[in-house]
Amino acid sequence: MKKKQVLVACGAGIATSTVVNSTIEEMAKENDIKVDLIQIKIAEIESYVNTADLLVTTASVQKEYPFPIINARSFLTGIGKEDTKKEILEELQK
Amino acid sequence: MSDIYFDESIILFDLEGKSKEEVLTKIGNNLIEKNLVKEGFIDAIIKRESEYATGLPTKGVSVAIPHTDVEYVNRKTISVAVLKEPVDFGIMGEPKATIPIKLVFLLAMDEEHSQLSLLQKLMEMFQDEDTLKYLINENNKTKIKNLLESKLAFAFEGEE
């Protein structure tokens, strides 16, 4: 299976994407999936439009992209965290 | 990367403000006076908050975690403010919805993609309703400082 490129984005690329990034990293390791994780600011998404397979973000994204977008605010609040993890895992295993 | 600055002087009680802008300005001014952040910090954090809201619908007590680009920060710090009356902040990840916020953790970070362990511990704490309730009811700053230091394990700074 081709290694998936996953963008992890938040407004500043400082706080929330750091936490989300490490959660996905752990999840991929647990499930023995290789991913190319890239932590960016929302404003930088454009540079990856042609290569990314998935966008995981804590911010609200208004634009349409050719890849699915998963909101991961639950990684910060704990509410619904397992559902979000499942959703991401399904995308990674596609 | 600097050591984190954390003491009673950046823990603010009964902060009054009619809007999130007013709240952020007051917290920011305190940090500017202490030379922890630069002049442009307040404008930058207000702008960022309007573009990417940071209100979190955490259990029991809603928390906001405003932050902005590293360039405005002189020294890394986390300023905690308990608001006298809740103030509406936008909800992170939702374009229009707002949520009344009682507790603000303003993150002044001086390096991107870093402080992972600190941030993880912070988010873990946000998932603990009892701690959040304690934080908005305790009126001794030293107790809050000690609790946060142990919860966030500042001693482990320097990893990553």
Best of B63, B65, B92 to disrupt the A interface (most A CBs within 10 Å) is: B92
Q: With an 8 Å Cβ cutoff, are B70 and A19 in contact?
A: no
Best of A8, A10, A14, A42 to disrupt the B interface (most B CBs within 10 Å) is: A14
Average pLDDT over residues B64-77: 93
Of A14, A17, A42, the CB nearest to B70: A14
Q: Could you tell me where the beta strands, DSSP code E, fall in B31-160?
A: 55-56, 63-64, 77-90, 98-108
Determine the pLDDT at residue B148: 94
Cα of A34 to nearest chain B Cα, Å: 21
pTM: 0.89
Best of B1, B52, B58, B152 to disrupt the A interface (most A CBs within 10 Å) is: B52
The percentage of chain A sitting over the pLDDT mark of 70, rounded to a whole number, equals 98
Of B56, B94, B116, the CB nearest to A76: B56
CA–CA distances in Å: residue A77 to residues A39, A83, B11, B18, B131: 20, 13, 22, 25, 14
Domain limits at A24? Answer: 4-93
- Res. B160 pLDDT band, cuts 50 70 90: very low
Cα of B116 to nearest chain A Cα, Å: 6
**Which tops the pLDDT comparison, B1 or B111?**
B111
CA atoms within 13 A on the CB side of B100: 7
Determine the pLDDT at residue B116: 80
| Range from A10-14, A69-73, B44-48, B124-128 carrying the lowest mean pLDDT | A10-14
Which one of the listed residues A7, A10, A20, A40 is annotated catalytic?
A: A10
- The helix/strand/coil state of A52 is coil
Is A22 a known active-site residue? no
Determine the pLDDT at residue B159: 42
Average pLDDT over residues A35-53: 94
Q: What is the CATH number of the domain that holds A47?
A: 3.40.50.2300
> In chain A, how many domains are there?
1
- Res. B119 pLDDT band, cuts 50 70 90: confident
Q: Is the pLDDT of residue B2 over 90?
A: no
Residue with tokens 């573009």: B51
Determine the pLDDT at residue B146: 94
Q: Is the pLDDT of residue B155 over 70?
A: no
Mean pLDDT score of chain B:
91
- Give the pLDDT confidence of A15-41 residue by residue, as tens digits: 788 889 999 999 999 999 999 999 998
Q: B56 contacts in A (CB within 8 Å)?
A: 73, 76-77
Of B57, B69, B95, the CB nearest to A77: B57
Q: Is the ipTM of this complex over 0.90?
A: no
CB atoms within 10 A of CB A35: 18
- Res. B1 pLDDT band, cuts 50 70 90: low
The CATH number of domain B8-156, selected from 3.20.10.10, 3.40.930.10, 3.40.50.720, 2.140.10.10 = 3.40.930.10
Q: How far apart are CA B156 and CA B160, in angstroms?
A: 10
Q: Domain extents for chain B?
A: 8-156
Q: Is the pLDDT of residue B158 over 70?
A: no
Q: With an 8 Å Cβ cutoff, are A59 and B92 in contact?
A: yes
| Range from A9-13, A86-90, B60-64, B156-160 carrying the lowest mean pLDDT | B156-160
DSSP alpha helices (H): ranges in A1-94?
Answer: 16-30, 74-77, 81-93
